[in-house]
Structures are given as C-alpha cells and as structure tokens.
Amino acid sequence: MRQPRRTDGAGIHQLISECPPLDLNSVYTYLLLSEHFADTSILAGEGDQLEGFISGYLVPEKHDTLFIWQVAVHANARGKGLGKRMLSQLLQRPSLEHVRYIETTVGPDNLASRGMFNSLARTLNAPVLETPLFDRALFGRHGHEDEPLLRIGPFQSL
C-alpha cells in the first residue's frame, strides 16, 4: 500500500470502472487526485494489478476532518478486509495525525461500505452519526440515490 502517483491515474480509472456502483470519473480526475491529494489517498497493488484505491481530502473548513470520497476494492480482493486496512494505514500517516473525524457519503443500499465504515468506527471506539446531505433530487435526471453523510468521531490517532 502506498500513495498514488500521477502514473497511476489510468489504472485507477480502470479499477473504478470495474467496481460498480461507484461513480466513474474522468481519467483526468484520477490524475489530479494522484497529483494533488496523494497524501490523503491510498493505493493497494502495483502496475496493472491494482486491488484497491481510496481517495480523500481534508475538509477546508474542518481541518481535523478527512473526507473519504471513493473506496474501491476490486472483486478479486473483496471480503478480505482490504478497504478497512487501507483506511487504517491512511490514518497512520504522520501528516494526518491531527485527524479526529472521518466523513463520507454512502448510499442506503451500499451495505458493504456501511459495514466497513461501521467496523472502522468500532476499531476507533468512535460513534457514527448519519445525517442527510445530498438528496437524490440534487442529482437531476442522473438517477442517483440519496447520499447521506456518515461522520465517524471523534477518535484518537491510530
């Protein structure tokens, strides 16, 4: 597991394309994430064998909050705790030792992601608060489900 590099952008795009129901963004988006947000993102695998990717960023108005944008685990690596291990390793980075909250949005039907974040919260001995954030109507005609906000914390660094 390591920080993504700009050379990983196309591979990350391919990984995300193989991980429905994740929203697929442009290769350019994954290039930018790898270039500008490498310190708050993590990649598992190497070369053409990418197994997992987590993108995140520090919320500008909440310096102690890491927002997790996407968690992708390839079908070949699912059920082995890779997503939680990537999140745990990400939280151990010295540059993120000040983080006390994780925020993310997870659709109501995404039971695997909800289970992973709830398991992480138990490991961190931290509460999970769910509140509405993006109602499906905000997505227009794109047929997207609600995206409630999950907020984990406060917690101490790992």
Residue 103 has pLDDT above 70, yes or no: yes
What structural domains and CATH numbers belong to the chain?
6-152 (3.40.630.30)
What pLDDT, on the 0 to 100 scale, is given for residue 136? 63
What's the per-residue H, E or C state across the chain? CECCCHHHHHHHHHHHHCCCCCCCCCHHHHHHHHHHCHHHCEEEEECCEEEEEEEEEECCCCCCEEEEEEEEECHHHCCCCHHHHHHHHHHCCHHHCCCCEEEEECCCCCHHHHHHHHHHHHHHCCCEEEEEEECHHHHHHHCCCCEEEEEECCCCCC
pLDDT of res. 86: 97
pLDDT score, position 148 = 83
State residue 44's pLDDT score.
96
pTM (2 d.p.): 0.90
Question: What are the tens digits of pLDDT across the range 11-62?
Answer: 999 999 999 888 899 999 999 999 999 999 999 987 678 999 999 999 999 9
pLDDT, one tens digit per residue, over 62-96 is 999 999 999 999 999 998 999 999 999 999 999 99
